[in-house]
Amino acid sequence: MAAKPKHISRKMLSSDERVVIETRPSAWLYMKAAFFSAILALAALILFAWPWIDGAPEIPYLSDWYADVDYGDYVQMAFAALFLIAGVFFFYKWMKWSSTVYAATDERIITQRGILNKRVEDIPLSMITNVDLAQSIGKRALGYGTIHFSTKGLTAGRPPDIVWDGVPDPYAVRRKLQEVMDIRQKPSE
């Protein structure tokens, strides 16, 4: 069992509660669009700085636009704006990924989300009736899956199910959760 939680605040746990699993969603799930935006931002930065690069070859149309007194500044500002927008998008996706945490203790499962506004959902293990795992062929190739927790009913107006999407090594996570649930539900002899 894990000694200290890495991403879940110790204040959220009771004094005798132990963290069994703590993970983040697969970075690929959140960061694939961010990866492409980073490439776009890099290209925009290079094109923005092109007029100041010594010995840079002529680029058809682009060099003409930069030389044009009427449009040159607008083209350069468009590349600067594209760089900023793509950079902000990358930062947002990275923050969204890094602020999502899935954890299971010996008493409950916890889902924490949110960049500025935190949202924490937890369900006692005794309320969970079923743990399902789903993996498409693409998710299997990338090594992540979706774990779906079914519960006994509505709790405080929320739907009766919790979904952990993009869990790395989902079979190992499900097996560990099932072991904890079995220990929790079996009466001690």
Q: Where are the domains of the chain?
A: 18-25+101-185, 32-95
Which residue intervals of the chain are DSSP H helices?
Answer: 27-49, 62-67, 72-98, 137-142, 170-185
Residue 167 near residue 160, CB atoms below 8 Å: no
Output the pTM of the full model.
Answer: 0.75
Could you tell me if residue 139 is left (phi over 0), alpha (psi between -120 and 50 degrees) or otherwise beta?
A: alpha
Task: Give me the tens of pLDDT residue by residue for the chain, a chain 189 residues long.
Answer: 445 667 777 777 777 788 888 888 988 877 888 899 999 999 989 888 877 778 878 777 776 766 666 677 787 888 899 999 999 999 999 999 988 999 988 888 889 898 888 888 888 888 888 888 999 998 899 889 999 888 876 556 566 578 899 999 999 999 988 888 887 665 555
Rounded distance, CA 87 to CA 30, Å?
15
Report yes or no: 166 and 25 within 8 Å, Cβ to Cβ. yes
Fold classified for 18-25+101-185: PH-domain like (2.30.29)
Q: Residue 135 to residues 51, 108, 125, 152: CA-CA distances in angstroms?
A: 49, 24, 23, 24
